[in-house]
Structure 1
């Protein structure tokens, strides 16, 4: 695995951990300040604003992981290819 892929994977993991801590802590603050039913309303699956916020918070970390995966698969497939490849079949 290349250094860039490792760095992207590390940054993605750090981002996802920070996003998870932020989401859990914000839910705990809502539970503490506004009560259980406010948390239930916040976690309602029809609460589109909350779901978009959660998705946008976690998206950069997931995209960094996807980029690292693409780099590792691209690097692995290009290493197994011969240096000179003819586009025409040889008879």
Structure 2
């Protein structure tokens, strides 16, 4: 087994849940997708959770071109509660 990189690593929780070799990749870009896919080939990954920035269309398109499918989108809201308290 190859050591995990900061970009992609094995996902034991998903392996236990789904019963297949799984990995997670955070901060995926089109330029670094090759690294992710090589890890997946080496580790015989069958299920990959890959996250990229919502505004990085190139990363999303590269993932789709490599056979990936968009399954969900995470939205984070940020609000300064201290500023609201001053009103």
For this structure pair, what is the TM-score category when the shorter chain's length is used for normalisation? under 0.3
Alignment TM-score, normalising by the size of structure 2: 0.23
Q: Which structure has the larger Rg? A: 1
- More strand, by proportion: 2
Alignment TM-score, normalising by the size of structure 1: 0.23
- Tell me: higher relative CO, structure 1 or 2? Use CA pairs within 8 A at least 6 residues apart: 1
